[in-house]
Every structure is written in C-alpha cells, then in structure tokens.
Amino acid sequence: MNSKRTLHLLAFLALAGTALTAPAKADTTLLNVSYDPTRELYQEVNQAFAKEWKAKTGETLKINQSHGGSGAQARSVIDGLEADVVTLGLSYDIDAIAEKTGLIGADWANRLPYEATPYTSTVVFLVRKGNPKHLKDWPDLVQPGIEVITSNPKTSAGGRWSYVAAWGYALHHYDNDEAKAKAYLTGLFKNVPVLDSGARGSTTTFVQRGIGDVLLAWENEGILAVEQLGKNQFEVVIPSISVLAEPPIAVVDKVVDKRGTRAVSEAYLKFLYSPQGQEIAAHNHYRPRDPETAKRHAKEFPEVKLFTVQSLGGWHALHKAHFQDGGIFDQISGVAKN
C-alpha cells in the first residue's frame, strides 16, 4: 500500500514536471482528439512524427493527445475544445462536428485516401483462456447463461461497431429478414449485464473485474489485452463474419487556420499513410491499408469475411433506424415499443 502510494506520488511529480517544462521547449503544439483505444497507437505515432518533422523543418513539435468515448470526444470539440486534428472511431462523429459547428469542411472524407481512414480494424471476441464456454461464432453468444460484455452503442464507437457487426451477421445469416435479426440482437443484449459508456471501460470490466464470458472488442483492443494483460488469461476468437471498421481522421479547419498549424496538421495525418505510419499502425494491431505492410503482417491479421457499413446502408441510415430515441436499440432493450 505504502510503496504503491509512493509510486503514485512519484508518477504525479514526474507528470507535473513534464507539464511544467514541456511547453517552454516546444515551438509548436498540436492537439489530437481521439477515441478510447488509440492511446498506445498515437503515443508511438506522435513520437515518430515529431522526429520526422524536426528533421524536415527544425521545428520542435509537441503533440498532445486526448482520449475518451468517440461521441464524448466529438462533443468536446463541438463545445469548444480546440483540437487541431480529430481521429475518431466513427465517421458519424466527425460528420456531427462538421454539421453542428462548421469547424470541419463537409468534404473532409474526400481529402485523404480511403475516405480518410488510414487503418482499419474489425470486431472480434475476447474470451477467457481455453475458451471454457466454447464461444466460436455469433450464434454462441445468445445461448442462455452466457454473459456478453460490450459498450453502449449510443455513446461508444467500439460499442457501435460491435452492434453493427452483430446486426450484419444476423442479416447475412437470416437472409435479410429484419425481424429475425432483431430477435437475435434482443437475445444478445439480454446476455449483457453491464453497459459501459466507452470501449476501454468495457475492457476493464471484462479483463480486470473478471465480469462476463466474452468481450466484443475492437480487434486491436483484443490483441492488446492478450499481449499486455495476460497471455495465459485471454484468447482472441475471430468470428466467421464481421464488420470492416474504418476509423476516420480529419483536420479541424477553423482551428488550424486560427492557430496557424494547418501545414503541420495535414502532414501529421498524411504521415499515417506513409510506410512508417502504416508500420506503426500494424504494430499496434490496426489493419494497415498499404498492401505491402499488410503482406508483412498477414500472419497477425487472420482473414475474415468482412462486410462494410455501406453494404448495410451507411452510418446515417443505420443511426436513424437503430440509435435514435425509439429506434431498434431502444426496442430491443425494452424501453421503446416496436
């Protein structure tokens, strides 16, 4: 207890120290407002990019990062948090910033390759070592007695991708019969005991508090949990079919123009597409876009049958049907009538 407290104190002092000294050294600072599970990814990206920028321009760059549920982060930006770039979990959230504030041009998705999504991921199952409940694929999750951990699809990007993955599976499986797909989701959410508001919260619930039999997770988050938190405690199970998750990035136009950071912000986002940026993404368990990098890491990312959100009608249609008040998610959780 005591040594722990000392450690905390030291950590706090170290943090306070960097906070005090850092701004004096940096010529330019950037703020990257991101979603929940990208902490590790952007730590590495920021370091590499700052080094490259220094070599190219001589300018010392400090990139601050902020993390939280994708919806909450977008709302902070809408409410006035001065982000130079946003790297969120869901294009819907960047659209929301663009529509509500005009801080980002409406054509943001067309400014960078792959509709401004430099890496992809998918939704996988994280289960306990040895997979004691034999959870192999989507139908296993609705068995009675199975506890499924996921985050709130209304607020969390990870939760929303997981929900859409389950929905897409059900539509494929039941030949686009929406009533049957709805019944599947109802069964699935009947097995959910806790609904955290962000993906990292769900991971903590599953991994550290030991709640639940399976976590619906971002692939990167699942692999990270296995790697960092206990190789002999968890396993990643890849379902037969899942969703192609495409987390988008954008420069916040009005902020960078005001702060005079457009050039460096745009270079920062382009860096994510560079061979080095792609390598860092792959290294952090995001599926790279670049075919060469993908080939090198093919072993780590098993091939899965992936469907896109566009094939389900796109985010706006999905949002309207599922996540608005009284929508399908409210119906399956029993708080709205069919």
Partner 1 sequence: MLATKSSVIPGFGPTLGYTLFYLGLIVLIPLAALFFRAAGMGWEQFVQAAFAPRVLAAYRLSFGGAFIAAAINVVAGLLVAWVLVRYEFPGRKLFDAMVDLPFALPTAVAGIALTAIYAPNGVIGQLLRPLGIKVAFTPIGVVIAMVFIGMPFVVRTVQPVLQDLELEHEEVAASLGANRLQVFCLVILPNLLPALVTGFALAFARALGEYGSVIFIAGNMPGISEIAPLLIVTKLEQYDYAGATAIAVVMLVAAFLMLLVINTLQKWRQSRFTAN
- By CB under 8 A, is residue 175 in contact with partner 1? no
Contact stretch for partner 1 (CB under 8 A) within 33-41, 112-120, 205-213, 292-300:
205-213
DSSP conformation letters of 198-214? SHHHHHHHHHTS---SE
User: Coil, helix or strand for 308?
Assistant: coil
Of residues 180-199, those binding partner 1 (CB under 8 A): 192-197
**Of residues 27, 40, 88, the one with CA closest to residue 227:** 40
Residue 117 near residue 248 (C-beta atoms within 8 A):
yes
- By CB under 8 A, is residue 69 in contact with partner 1? yes
Contact with partner 1 (CB under 8 A) among 129, 209, 254, 305? 209
- By CB under 8 A, is residue 129 in contact with partner 1? no
Total residues binding partner 1 (CB under 8 A): 29
Contact with partner 1 (CB under 8 A) among 26, 48, 72, 304? 72
Helix (H) or strand (E) holding 121, with range, is none
CA–CA dist 264, 270 (Å, integer): 10
- By CB under 8 A, is residue 144 in contact with partner 1? no
User: What residues have CB less than 8 Å from 191, skipping those under 6 apart?
Assistant: 141, 142, 146, 147, 148
Q: How many CA atoms lie within 13 A of 296 on its CB side?
A: 14
- By CB under 8 A, is residue 100 in contact with partner 1? yes
Helix (H) or strand (E) holding 17, with range, is helix 2-25
Indicate the residue type of 95.
D
DSSP state of 78: H
- By CB under 8 A, is residue 330 in contact with partner 1? yes
21-24 contacts, C-beta under 8 A, 24 or more apart: 22/62, 23/62
- By CB under 8 A, is residue 323 in contact with partner 1? yes
Nearer to partner 1, 48 or 78 (CB): 78
Shortest Cβ distance from residue 335 to partner 1 (Å)? Answer: 4
Nearer to partner 1, 58 or 210 (CB): 210
- By CB under 8 A, is residue 260 in contact with partner 1? no
- By CB under 8 A, is residue 96 in contact with partner 1? yes
CA–CA dist 115, 108 (Å, integer): 8
User: What residues have CB less than 8 Å from 141, skipping those under 6 apart?
Assistant: 125, 135, 148, 166, 188, 191, 214
Contact stretch for partner 1 (CB under 8 A) within 30-38, 149-157, 284-292, 302-310:
149-157
Shortest Cβ distance from residue 322 to partner 1 (Å)? Answer: 12
- By CB under 8 A, is residue 65 in contact with partner 1? no
Shortest Cβ distance from residue 301 to partner 1 (Å)? Answer: 30
Shortest Cβ distance from residue 296 to partner 1 (Å)? Answer: 38
- By CB under 8 A, is residue 210 in contact with partner 1? yes
Residues contributing to the site for partner 1 (CB under 8 A):
69, 71-72, 74-75, 78, 96, 100, 152, 154-155, 192-197, 209-211, 323, 325-326, 330, 333-337
